[in-house]
Chain A
Amino acid sequence: MADHFLRLENLVKAFGANTVVKNVSLAFEKGEFISLLGPSGCGKTTILRMIAGFERPTSGQILVEGKDISPLPPNQRKIGMVFQAYALFPNMSVEDNVGFGLRIAGVPADERRARVEEMLKLIGLPGYGKRFPFEMSGGQQQRVALARALAPKPRMLLLDEPLSALDAKIRVSLRQEIRAIQRDLGITTVFVTHDQEEALSISDRIVVLSAGNVEQFGAPFEIYNKPATKFVATFVGQINTLKATVADAATKTVTLDGQKAVVPALPATARNGDSVALTLRPEAIVLANGTPRDIVFEGDVSDVAFLGSVIRLKVKLGENAIELDTFNDQRTPPPALNQKVQITLSGADVFVLGD
């Protein structure tokens, strides 16, 4: 148990009557890139700020390398932090900003200078030392903020939605840069975001949070393909829902528009005649085209959009309208409106979710 780098044990935070973080326990390993993902108000920023020391937990412990850091004030925790609003000191040049932590620690001037240059090279802004924050773009400022946080060689890096204030293109390139630097340095990192694509693309593991609770904690592949709860399935990625009726609960048979299918599992409370929702990822439903999987349905094409390399179809199945994509085949024309098509999916792809 003592080898986990960062451990949150039964962490609770309440502001008056409002409990924002409800009994969270997590363990992160050294060198991992962890994302805290969730909608606003889910408690992810509060957890980050408790690790940093800006909020005191109502109860619970935060242990770094086995030691409880809760009694320590933020300026003694040796943690680097990057803020959403960059927070560069406006009265200081880039090199003074980056060297600030070193100066506080009493590092002599020439050593400081060398380290600052090293950091500027790391973030791809060598020679920007004399510039001031107001002369630089948002993306540049955020990189300087990153350099500033990393210069004093902290043992952990915290990032509070660092990319939210930047525009889309910069967001993508900067997140890859951050990941590359993190891998380079091997520093344990906790990254807060509400953007699931961001979290999926750069994390080693993701903590999905909702209303103060951990919904799921795992690698991106797991979170996406094996969502533990309905919230995770809907928040991360898209889902398609098929509404069916339970035909025989014992054999797990359902009917959809008169057609029968056997699903891997049904909610325990399902009785014959109940309606049930089959949830899957959109890419799990495809046109049969001669290679059917274990469940096949027949429906009517209600819309065809030819997008070039992709053809987007809407298929009507009972009360369901399913959207699915199929690749363009140069020799086969797309289905016509109202044409009957066979769509197929694998029972294993159906998510069995509690509500």
Chain B
Amino acid sequence: MSSNSGTSTPSATPGSPGVVSVRRGFLSGHGWGEVIGVAPFLIFAVLFLVVPTLYLAYGAFVGRDGQFTLQNIIDLGTPQIINSFWISIRVSAASAILGALIGLILALAIIRGRLPSGIRSAVMTFSGVASNFAGIPLAFAFLSTLGRLGLVTVILKTVFAFDIYRAGFNLLSFWGLTLTYCYFQIPLMVLIIAPAIDGLRKEWTEAAETLGATRFQFWRYVGLPILWPNLLGTLSLLFANAFGAIATAYALTGSSLNIVPILLYAQIRGDVLQNPGLGAALALGMILITAVANVIYLVIRTRAERWLK
């Protein structure tokens, strides 16, 4: 019910039909009372959200001598840093794609699979919690499961005589981290895609059936095309989500898997790069990547909603 009006159209104040107020400008007509109410919020946002980030980004362009420079950005081109970004991109992409795929299939199963109704709400509730699971406890949980002494590792070894570590698996590795990340990526996907799947109205399936389509044809021509923007957008969101995560990786792989957040962490802690400006440049790189990925998600989502009026 909000409207950005700077015009002088008389309009009813929302929630009270019949009360007419003339809005002439952004603040005119409003007392200081309203602004006071929102002030703490905005002040906080500026001081503790917007400015620190911008300040940090700005710091990327400041050299050791305090002058404006592009050197930090150029210095990002070292093999160590490029490698770090590359690993981050690969882990984030892998966990995003896996999370999106598995999450989609899981969501389809609980929503359209005609399972008992309790299952859907149980899964959704679980997903609500699990999607916030990233962090140290998650790493511990997976160590207890697939670590060298983990429950599943031991069971596979003793009961099925299959030593996964001998076969080349290692939890403390790229794929181990990806697998762990899926624990919060999959629920996040389920949460976000569920409303979109709900939006696939029953009548579309029935209409397609009366026109002769098989299930597969329905999904191919109608279902997936409708979901596609949402899928892409959420993929982007999952990517950003994984890219910015650190605690789980830190607890799991320590510094052995050099993703960007870990590199940044080391830099903040102990200036391992010997160059504060470079740290800021690193942060700038991270901000840009996550910001772009998030914006893609938001843009796609708003456009997809227009379709499905």
A–B in direct contact per CB < 8 Å: yes
Nearest A residue to B218 by beta-carbon distance?
A75
Residue in A79, A80, A104, A152 with the greatest tally of chain B CB atoms within 10 Å: A104
For chain A, give the interface size range. Answer: 20 to 34
Q: List residues of B (193-211) whose CB comes within 8 Å of A's CBs.
A: 201, 203-204, 206-211
Q: Across the interface, do B207 and A83 meet the contact criterion of CB distance under 8 Å?
A: yes
Q: Across the interface, do B212 and A104 meet the contact criterion of CB distance under 8 Å?
A: yes
Nearest A residue to B229 by beta-carbon distance?
A91
Minimum distance in angstroms from B259 CB to a CB of chain A: 37
Which listed residue (B210, B306, B307) contacts A80, Cβ 8 A? B210
Are A87 and B209 CB-contacts (below 8 A) given A100-B221, A104-B217, A134-B309? no
CB-defined interface of B211-228 with A at 8 Å, one 1/0 digit per residue?
111100100011001100
Q: Across the interface, do A74 and B210 meet the contact criterion of CB distance under 8 Å?
A: yes
Q: Across the interface, do A75 and B222 meet the contact criterion of CB distance under 8 Å?
A: no
Q: Across the interface, do A81 and B306 meet the contact criterion of CB distance under 8 Å?
A: no
Are A74 and B221 CB-contacts (below 8 A) given A101-B211, A134-B307, A152-B211? no
Q: Across the interface, do A104 and B306 meet the contact criterion of CB distance under 8 Å?
A: no
Docked Cα-Cα span, A90 to B309, in Å, equals: 9
Q: Across the interface, do B212 and A152 meet the contact criterion of CB distance under 8 Å?
A: yes
Are A75 and B214 CB-contacts (below 8 A) given A81-B207, A91-B307? yes
Minimum distance in angstroms from A131 CB to a CB of chain B: 14
Interface flag for A173 (CB, 8 Å): no
User: Which label, helix, strand, loop or mixed, suits the secondary structure of the B interface?
Assistant: helix
Interface flag for A166 (CB, 8 Å): no
Which listed residue (B201, B212, B307) contacts A85, Cβ 8 A? B201
Q: Across the interface, do B217 and A87 meet the contact criterion of CB distance under 8 Å?
A: no
Chain B residues with Cβ below 8 Å from A101 are 211-212
Give the B interface residue count (CB, 8 A): 21
Minimum distance in angstroms from B17 CB to a CB of chain A: 23
Q: List residues of A (228-280) whose CB comes within 8 Å of B's CBs.
A: none
Are A87 and B225 CB-contacts (below 8 A) given A101-B212, A134-B306? no
Docked Cα-Cα span, A83 to B207, in Å, equals: 8
Q: Across the interface, do A74 and B206 meet the contact criterion of CB distance under 8 Å?
A: yes
Q: Across the interface, do A81 and B210 meet the contact criterion of CB distance under 8 Å?
A: yes
Interface flag for B308 (CB, 8 Å): yes
Minimum distance in angstroms from A311 CB to a CB of chain B: 41
Docked Cα-Cα span, A75 to B214, in Å, equals: 7
Interface flag for A148 (CB, 8 Å): yes
Docked Cα-Cα span, A103 to B217, in Å, equals: 10
Chain B residues with Cβ below 8 Å from A90 are 226, 307-309
Chain B residues with Cβ below 8 Å from A73 are 209
Minimum distance in angstroms from B45 CB to a CB of chain A: 36
Docked Cα-Cα span, A78 to B213, in Å, equals: 11
Q: Across the interface, do B306 and A83 meet the contact criterion of CB distance under 8 Å?
A: no
Nearest B residue to A83 by beta-carbon distance?
B203
4 A-B pairs with the lowest CB-CB distances in the bound complex, closest first: A87-B203, A101-B211, A74-B209, A81-B210
